[in-house]
Amino acid sequence: MVSGLKTDDHLPQLGTDEIQQYLSSGLFRGIGKATAQTLVNYFGANTLDILAKNPERLNEIPGLTKYRITNILAAWAESRNNPNKAVIAQLLGVGTSLGLTLKICDHYGHRTSEVLNREPYKLVDEVDGIGFATADKLALSLGFPLTSVARWSKGLLQVLKDALSEGHCFLPEPQLLTRALSLLEHPSYTPDEQSLSAVVDRLILEQTLVRGEQALSIYLKAAYRAEVSVAWRIKNLMNRPTESTSKLERWLANHENASHRELSRLSSEQINALIMAQKHPVSIICGGPGRGKTHVLKTLVQWLQSELTSVALAAPTGKAANRMQNATDMEAATIHRLLQWQGYGQAFVYNEDNPLHLDWLIIDEFSMVDIFLFNSVLKALSATTKLLIVGDPDQLASVGP
């Protein structure tokens, strides 16, 4: 614990917009947005001083009834016993914006002072919209040392989180340390690399980080587990027996001999792609624009429908799903819709305990699928589902690793 928050509840100077936001926060039960605006419109920057020192002046406001004045003054008096009043004053005093201050207090309630005094870096994981830089600035302003293990640990984790958004499942340890040293340095302070490396070892021992099989690779635990899970599940798919393609080949022969225009005929490469997809439990079709992927997909869907096969078409985005649907004349959905994402539970309905009952799953524009989403897809496949991945190496990359 550090010196941290004090008990002084004297607010720094606030602007009129901030006063209105402050009064309409949950700190004052009985003062809503409309009442706060009424007070500020009349008293301006002096509103808080009036409430504290000259509350009788509320009678000057036209249309403000005695009943509302009584409620306002009761809410103001009650706020004096709210432990977060001092917290708000102190946070504002160290330069935290009012919006962020109220967000923190709303999240932690009566525990706000305790959390800020003991573990301010928890805000990074627990309060939406707060990153390391914001939590670090707040922690240092409250007296946390630049050399605290909590600070160094959270800085290392932040570097790996940033790497995820750059598309990396892991970072080589030397690169991790270099980035973390840059993040943690201060005008008056530069961390020691050897000591920072010791914190990495500590986080690995605590199983917060994982040292991968590839030399010097350091992962966040969630990324490591997802990558290993994907590899294991793909290996299991590939170990399943292949299927006969004779029926498809006969169908293709009839399909090609029908009264089709020459332009609609399949090339030998496209026919081979279809046979590959039918033969193997998991397969990939990739190629740039104009290479015939769409025609292969449309023909494959026609074949599967003729066989009354249970098939689902999916893509990472709604726009990609619409393109897939228009190309194949079959309904397509986003991957999240197919797996039924439940925002309140932060989980998919379809998973390894509740798999999709499908013979085939075809996913287009796969370059936009990150390791975590792909892991969720593989978890939701039944033991007999065939997987076809379609994409273009030059399409948009995923926003994750």
Phi, psi of 283 (to 5 degrees): -150, 165
CA-to-CA separations, 166 to 163, 171, 175, 259, 370, in angstroms, rounded? 5, 11, 14, 50, 11
| Residue 134: per-residue pLDDT | 87
Domain range 149-236, CATH architecture: Orthogonal Bundle (1.10)
Segment (H or E) for 217: strand 217-220
> For 70-121, how does the pLDDT look when each residue is reduced to its tens digit (9 = 90+)?
989 888 888 777 777 778 877 777 777 778 888 888 888 888 888 988 999 9
Query: What is the DSSP track for 139-162?
Result: HHHTT--TT-HHHHHHHHHHHHHH
Q: What is the pTM of this model?
A: 0.80
Q: What is the DSSP string of 335-365?
A: HHHHHTEETTTTEESSBTTB-B--SEEEE-S
Tell me the CA distances in angstroms from 238 to 233, 275, 296, 331, 386, one per residue in order: 9, 16, 22, 28, 10
Task: Render pLDDT for 194-226 as a digit per residue (tens, 0 to 9).
Answer: 999 999 999 999 999 999 988 899 999 999 999
Q: How many other CB atoms are found less than 10 A from the CB of residue 180?
A: 25
For residue 319, the model assigns a pLDDT of 94
Rounded to whole angstroms, the Cα distance separating 396 from 273 reads: 23
Q: What is the per-residue pLDDT across 139-154, written as a single tens digit (0 to 9) for each?
A: 998 889 999 999 999 9
User: What's phi and psi for 279, nearest 5 deg?
Assistant: -75, -40
- Asked if the model's pLDDT at residue 159 lies above 90, the reply is yes
| Poorest-pLDDT segment among 16-20, 65-69, 345-349 | 16-20
* Residue ranges of domains in the chain: 16-141, 149-236, 240-391
Amino acid present at 268? S
| Cβ-based neighbours of 248, under 8 Å, separated by 6 or more | 274, 275, 278, 303
CATH 3.40.50.1110 fits 240-391, yes or no: no
Closest CA to 92 of 81, 104, 83: 104
